[in-house]
Amino acid sequence: MHIHNVDLHYHAGQEREPGTTVSDYLEHAVVTGRRVLGITDHYGLYADPPRPDKQYLYERSLRGLRAYRDEVMDLAPAFPSLMLRFAPELSPRVALDEVPDEVLAMSDYFICETAFPAGSIAENTAATVQRIEQVGRFVERTGKPAFIAHPFRSSANYRLVKRDIEPWVSALAPRPALDFAPEELTRFFLLDVAEIGATSAAYGVPLEVNGNTHYRMLCSNLPGVLQMLYAAHCLLQEQGAEFVPGSDQHGFRRSVGRVGSYVPFDCFQVLGLGAGDLPFLQRIGVPQTA
Ligand SMILES: [Zn+2]
Facing residues of 171 across strands?
none
**Rounded Cα distance, 108 and 87, in Å:** 6
**Rounded Cα distance, 234 and 197, in Å:** 10
Q: How far is the CA of 185 from the centre of ligand 1 (A)?
A: 24
Q: How far is the CA of 42 from the centre of ligand 1 (A)?
A: 7
Q: Where are the domains of the chain?
A: 3-283
Q: How far is the CA of 212 from the centre of ligand 1 (A)?
A: 9
Task: Tell me if 275 sits within 8 A of 263, measured CB to CB.
Answer: no
Q: How far is the CA of 246 from the centre of ligand 1 (A)?
A: 9
pLDDT in tens, 94-117: 999 999 999 999 999 999 999 777
Contacts of residue 164, Cβ cutoff 8 Å, sequence gap at least 6: none
Residue 173 is predicted with a pLDDT of: 95
Q: How far is the CA of 175 from the centre of ligand 1 (A)?
A: 30
Q: What is the pTM of this model?
A: 0.95
Q: Classify residue 256 by its DSSP letter.
A: T
Topology given in CATH for the domain delimited by 3-283 = TIM Barrel (3.20.20)
**Rounded Cα distance, 82 and 280, in Å:** 17
pLDDT in tens, 220-245: 999 999 999 999 999 999 999 999 99
Edge-first strand order for the sheet with 146-149 is 89-90, 110-113, 146-149, 207-210, 243-246
pLDDT in tens, 141-197: 999 999 999 999 999 999 999 999 999 999 999 999 999 999 999 999 999 999 999
Task: Tell me if 1 sits within 8 A of 35, measured CB to CB.
Answer: yes
Distances (CA, A) of 97 to 55, 116, 123, 137, 212: 29, 21, 23, 9, 28
